A and B are shown apart, each in its own frame.
Chain A
Amino acid sequence: MDAPTWETINEGDELPELHKTPTVTDLVRYSAGSGDFNPLHHDYDFPQSKAIGTIIVHGRYKYAAMGEMVSNWLQHGGRIRKISCQYRGMDFPDKPLVIQGRVASKSEDNGEKLVNLHLWTLNEDGKKTTPGWVTVVFPD
């Protein structure tokens, strides 16, 4: 697929989905890459994991997956100005997680070509556990 350009993007456009089913090993890889070794993401015997009933996916793994989804879509044709998300629900290893999103708005501000995206993670129960928002700047 061609990289999106300012001219071809329309409000309401759906972005290509990113499918992830992070295994425990994937979470360990994320821990190693980020430096976050919270046992809640790899140790089933950690007290907080026991209280929750399992280990959970790093919130920031989901945040990073949103970044990956947008990066894959942009193919380096636009630049992320702002990226945010809220970790409203937990996700678990070996469960499918789909990153979805759409173009929320398109605007020119002080000569800058801006596109706002609304993203979310969808779990296997159809729940949006992590809503996110991204602002992309396109070149002139």
Chain B
Amino acid sequence: MAEAFELTDEMKAAIGSESAPWTYEVTTTSVRAFARGVGYTDPVYFDREAAHAAGYRDIPAPPTYLGTAVFIPGRSHDIFSGPVENQPSVHHGLENVLDGGTETEYFEQVCAGDTLTGVTRVASLDVRESKAIGKMLIATTEMTYTNQEGRKVAAQRSQVIFY
């Protein structure tokens, strides 16, 4: 718990900053592993023929697939697996992290075979206080995903709580 935590000018300066682009290959293996992880039994998320029969061009990424990492040692976070290279950073010094909320907006269906380019932007930083954990920093980031044809296919806003 951080009793005296407050936003510094250095932290505020990170608001609006953007990451370098990161490439997300959406592969059949990755989509199946995610669908398995959630517990799907719908064959559309595992089998190409079932996906075609349901009207998809390939195995579709399940609704909350985006956020699934493409891990490269040394360039990705060892635990959370997302990119750490040229990412906006907020030096807050808080040790604990919890997810606050997630919103994904789709402009097009994402399917296996797509190659997406993701860019993350720090949308806002807020300090709030809760009874359970005291003062906390809520960082909201927005990630936009552009496909191999240059079209924006999705945007994901994430709130992460640090305390």
- Report which A residues bind B (CB closer than 8 A): 20, 22, 26, 29-39, 48, 51, 58-61, 63-68, 70-72, 76, 79-87
Contact = CB atoms under 8 A, between A and B. Distances in A.
Nearest to A38: B79
A63 B80 contact: no
A29 B67 CA distance: 16
12 contacts: A29-B37, A29-B39, A33-B35, A34-B68, A59-B98, A61-B38, A66-B64, A71-B40, A79-B109, A84-B101, A84-B103, A87-B99
A140 to B, nearest CB: 14
Interface centre among A48, A60, A70 (most CB of B within 10 A): A60
A37 B80 contact: yes
B44 A37 contact: no
Nearest to A72: B42
A29 to B, nearest CB: 5
Contact of B81 (A29, A36, A51): A36
Interface of B: 33-40, 42, 44, 54-56, 62-64, 67-69, 71, 79-82, 95-106, 109, 157, 159
Contacts of A86: 100-101, 159
Contact of A68 (B39, B71, B80, B101): B39
A26 B105 contact: no
B42 to A, nearest CB: 7
A58 B63 CA distance: 16
A26 B36 CA distance: 9
B80 A84 contact: no
Contacts of B34: 33-34, 64
Nearest to B159: A86
B80 A38 contact: yes
A37 B68 CA distance: 12
Contacts, number: 113
A24 B95 CA distance: 24
A76 B38 contact: no
Contacts of B36: 29, 33
Closest 5 CB pairs of A and B: A33-B37, A67-B63, A35-B69, A35-B81, A84-B103
Contacts of B33: 32-33
A103 B130 CA distance: 31
Contacts of B95: 48
A35 B109 contact: no
A86 B69 CA distance: 21
A85 B101 contact: yes
A67 B41 CA distance: 13
A80 B106 contact: yes
B70 to A, nearest CB: 8
Given A58-B99, A80-B106, A84-B103, A67 B37 contact: no
